[in-house]
Amino acid sequence: MPIQAERDYMKELIPQEVIETKIYLIRGQKVMLSMDLAKLYGVPTMRLNEQANPYAFTEQGVAMLSSVLNSERAIHVNIAIMRAFVRLKAVLSTHKELAHKLDELEQKIERHDADIQSIFEAIRQLMAAPPDKARVITGFKRL
């Protein structure tokens, strides 16, 4: 199948956003549930569970499903799912970079806040009236 025809087929098959909403984070792993995969592949959930024991599939598990199911639809769905996993990784990577930059900015602001606070303290000290000193009278005393 030519590349453009494959892309058109994939767009008709399952929108990328739908697949991305079916990827969950469970125990620190990005997984897809067997019932969601069964709907995408167009097979009964029971069929997936008899081929593979888990009810949640990691990216590698999903990759193996296309060879187990061995159909044209399974191949195309699998490609779409792999693309969704790749896109999700890219989005998460961007968020990590953004979070890191935000942390750096926050640390800079905290340092600046401390500097600004010390400047205000110095200004307050300069504005404060000098303490009253006991007047020392100079000159001669009458006896």
CB-CB contact of 78 with 6 (8 Å): no
The string of pLDDT tens digits covering residues 70-85 is 788 888 888 889 889 9
Give the CA distances from residue 95 to residues 27, 69, 101, in Å, rounded to whole numbers and listed in that order. Answer: 20, 35, 10
What CA–CA distance (Å, rounded) separates 137 from 106? 57
- And the tokens for 3? 């590349």
Q: Which residues pair with 26 in a beta bridge?
A: 29
The string of pLDDT tens digits covering residues 96-123 is 888 888 888 888 888 888 888 888 888 8
Q: What is the largest CA-CA distance in the chain?
A: 124
Instruction: Count other C-beta atoms under 10 Å from residue 52's C-beta.
Output: 15
Q: What is the pLDDT of residue 98?
A: 83
